[in-house]
Amino acid sequence: MVPMDESGPGSSNRARVFPFLGTRRSIRCRSLCLIHPSAIRGDVTHERSTEEIQDAALGESLEGKIVAERYRVMRLLGEGGMGAVYQAEHVHIRKTVALKVLHKQMCSVPEVVARFEREAVAAGRIEHQNVAVATDFGRLQDGSFFLVLEYAAGRSLRALLQAAGVLEPRRCAHISRQIADALAAAHALAIVHRDLKPDNIMLIERDGDSDFVKVLDFGIAKVSLTDMADQPALTRIGAVFGTPDYMSPEQALGQPVDARSDLYALGILMFEMLMGSTPFEHDDPAMVLAHQVTVPAPRLPDHVPSPLASLVMALLEKDVMQRPQSAVEVVQALDRFLRGEASEPDLSGGLSLHGAPIPDKLPSAYGATALDLGKRPDPESSGQVSAVSRLGRAPVGTRSQSQALRSLLSKLDPGLAAGKTRLPLWGILAAAVALGAVFLLVTTLIAVAVVSKQDAVPVASSGVIPSLSWHPTNMPDPSRSAMRSEIERIESIAVYKRTLDDWVTLARGYSSMDQHRDSALAYRSVLQLDRSRRYDPRLLADLQRAALEPSAFSLVVNLVEGRAGLGETGVDLLWDIWHDLLKHDQPAQAETAFKKLVILSRRASKPLRVAIELHATDRCNKLMEVVSRAEKMADQRSLDRLQHIQSKTECTQEGCYPCLKKSPSLTRAMQRATSHPAPSRDKGYR
């Protein structure tokens, strides 16, 4: 199914027309780039830029033509280096469809064709109201492959989260219940999605339900089928595909993946719907994967109903045996919650919604991957063996890579190769150096597409601020030489073994020695381990100083923007940084800071949002509306701008605001700003 943006066509709307394009980081084979971020947004691969790929691959447009003797192509919806998507109409039954076409030049690459066919098979086999249906697949006269998908208007879960920030618990449960039901149908056919994320969840209007779910994009699904063994072996070794923010620990490690991996991803989705952010936020995908493997998920705040919070925490268990063992169990737990039953979720299993009993062992999709429309996998091909023994059975062409992976993991920890030990942070980073070993399938199609995050959305809070034991008075201020010795001691500790106190000491020590970039990096780790530290005056002061250093400015801004960073407090800090940059005559960085303030104003407190809008607005009519709100919300941060506006109510050559002349709102807003101090950094902006 391809969603239609009801605002109309146009290149500027493509991200909305295709919510499944994604806005988050993806690690996947470039053969999957068809209608994915790198296909449209111009991301750079390790081999060729998108522009170079397009120059070689883009063919003649099909608009206005009839293809496969039955589809009239209406218009192009999106196009990239691998293929294009069109809105089309079946000429006989007058039904609007989405037509995906693989560029002719790409059809000579077996792996690309196999993955395209995989999406067709997965979406075609799953007959469920919450799965986007594939209705046709074939080849055009010029040799290009095409896939016909369901087409409907709506928006992605990503778009909803960007607009709403967080969802009310019952709405989260309603959406999650439908996703789980769709997964139950897929898993009953031994199909594992492997790339669940908000971009791949479509919400449409149906029967009065504006949150009717359609699960999209089975392009990297694992399909445990056996009949066509001559197809390229796409997922037979420890390779990682998907999006790091939503990967299960076993998927991040390249271990066998079964239905419970999708359930972990569902837990991430539910966490994000309830909190406005994923559990593990980081600019570096390797760090995200490390946290997926080693760091327990943060607890949900008290305002999330206990049955729902317990279910999310169960889904996010690192050990697959500790998670719910089937999507059906999740559906049942969510049904109980939506009915208002007060008991904790009972994850004891039961019968499938489709009538088939849930097997004791879920079929793994790690085994045979050939495309078969009929047979179910036998136990051997279903992955009911250890990861190491499966690596030993890898095809000749991949066995050396599999052995290299197993050897690497064994050196890190003998338990890792058998999947019995969690991979530490430094292990993830070491493995990242050898991309072929952990992160990607080592083929000529290897690529890493890292898609920038969209602007962060507000994070829900329990409303209770944890007490802060970390305070400048808690740590003596040693001499410079002693501080250097302490820094060197901590630097000698493996990154994954460093404690919160170690990171705090590093951050403060670097700052005291004017190593502001290193200080900002260390504070980033502090915030990842304990977000309540965003209120600490020492942290805020050090970051404010660091922002004046050109090499650290971007890092500080990233901490302000990131959902796992400073949150609302960061906008207050950025306001002070902006004024510092103006005072220190750094106009370029000051301009950048103010642009970020405008973008992040929706996350700011009401008084700060008014101050930002006053500075960002120069049209009199718009100013009048903002000044009216300032009467009730302004604090001292608005005073300078209000005084400037008042001085311009009489028209001069320098411009004026005549609509505010003798305005009682302006007078009252100034009185309000004068009498309400701005929150202090020394008190954590609270």
Distance from C-alpha of 422 to C-alpha of 248, rounded to nearest angstrom: 12
Q: At what angle do helices 425-433 and 396-412 cross, to 10 degrees?
A: 140
CA 59 to chain centre: 32
| pLDDT at res. 309 | 93
Q: Report the chain's mean pLDDT, rounded to a whole number.
A: 70
- For residue 590, is pLDDT > 50? yes
**488 vs 422, residue with greater confidence:** 488
The secondary structure element, H or E, covering residue 75 is strand 71-79
Distance from C-alpha of 311 to C-alpha of 333, rounded to nearest angstrom: 8
**531 vs 240, residue with greater confidence:** 531
Please spell the DSSP secondary structure of 491-513, one letter per residue. HTS-GGG--HHHHHHHHHHHHHT
| pLDDT at res. 446 | 27
What is the layout of strands, in order, in the sheet containing 201-206? 155-156, 201-206, 209-215
- For residue 658, is pLDDT > 60? yes
Render pLDDT for 18-54 as a digit per residue (tens, 0 to 9). Answer: 333 333 444 433 223 333 332 222 232 233 333 333 3
| pLDDT at res. 652 | 58
- For residue 5, is pLDDT > 80? no
CA angle at 44 for the pair 38 and 45, rounded to the nearest 5°: 85
| Residues making up the chain, counted from first to last | 686
Render pLDDT for 9-19 as a digit per residue (tens, 0 to 9). Answer: 333 333 333 33
Q: At what angle do helices 306-315 and 327-338 cross, to 10 degrees?
A: 170
- Bridge partners (DSSP) listed for residue 449: 26
Q: What is the DSSP letter of 31?
A: G
Render pLDDT for 593-640 as a digit per residue (tens, 0 to 9). Answer: 998 888 888 888 999 999 999 888 878 878 888 988 999 999 999 999
Q: What is the DSSP letter of 470?
A: -
- What tokens appear for 648 in the block? 């311009």
User: H helices within 280-351, ranges in order?
Assistant: 285-294, 306-315, 327-338
| pLDDT at res. 64 | 87
- What tokens appear for 350 in the block? 């039961």
- Bridge partners (DSSP) listed for residue 145: 139
Q: From residue 221, give the alpha-carbon distance in Å to each of 152, 235, 435, 511.
A: 22, 10, 21, 47
| pLDDT at res. 175 | 96
Q: At what angle do helices 285-294 and 425-433 cross, to 10 degrees?
A: 140
Q: From residue 112, give the alpha-carbon distance in Å to each of 138, 148, 603.
A: 15, 17, 42
- Bridge partners (DSSP) listed for residue 257: none
Average pLDDT over residues 178-193: 88
Average pLDDT over residues 498-526: 91
Render pLDDT for 315-354 as a digit per residue (tens, 0 to 9). Answer: 999 988 889 989 999 999 999 999 986 544 444 333 333 3
| pLDDT at res. 659 | 77
Distance from C-alpha of 22 to C-alpha of 45, rounded to nearest angstrom: 16
Average pLDDT over residues 145-158: 84
SS3 309: helix
pTM over 0.85: no
- Bridge partners (DSSP) listed for residue 134: 149
Average pLDDT over residues 280-287: 84
Distance from C-alpha of 246 to C-alpha of 194, rounded to nearest angstrom: 9
Confidence band (pLDDT; 50, 70, 90) for 117? confident
Render pLDDT for 235-248 as a digit per residue (tens, 0 to 9). Answer: 333 345 578 899 99
Please spell the DSSP secondary structure of 392-403, one letter per residue. HTS-HHHHHHHH
Average pLDDT over residues 555-581: 84
* Side chain identity, residue 202: M
Q: Which of 9-13, 103-107, 454-458, 521-525 has the highest mean pLDDT?
A: 521-525
Which residues have C-beta within 8 Å of that of residue 542, sequence separation ≥ 6?
507, 508, 511, 519, 523
Token look-up 């390229």 returns 232
| pLDDT at res. 60 | 66
* Side chain identity, residue 375: K
Catalytic residues: 195
Q: What is the DSSP letter of 648?
A: T
| pLDDT at res. 676 | 93
- Bridge partners (DSSP) listed for residue 357: 351
| pLDDT at res. 286 | 84
- For residue 504, is pLDDT > 90? yes
Pairing of strands 151-153, 2-4: parallel
Cβ atoms of 123 and 116 closer than 8 Å: no
Distance from C-alpha of 645 to C-alpha of 631, rounded to nearest angstrom: 14
Render pLDDT for 380-399 as a digit per residue (tens, 0 to 9). Answer: 333 322 222 222 323 333 33
Closest CA to 159 of 23, 266, 53, 284: 23
Please spell the DSSP secondary structure of 91-110, one letter per residue. TTT--EEEEEEE-GGGGG-H
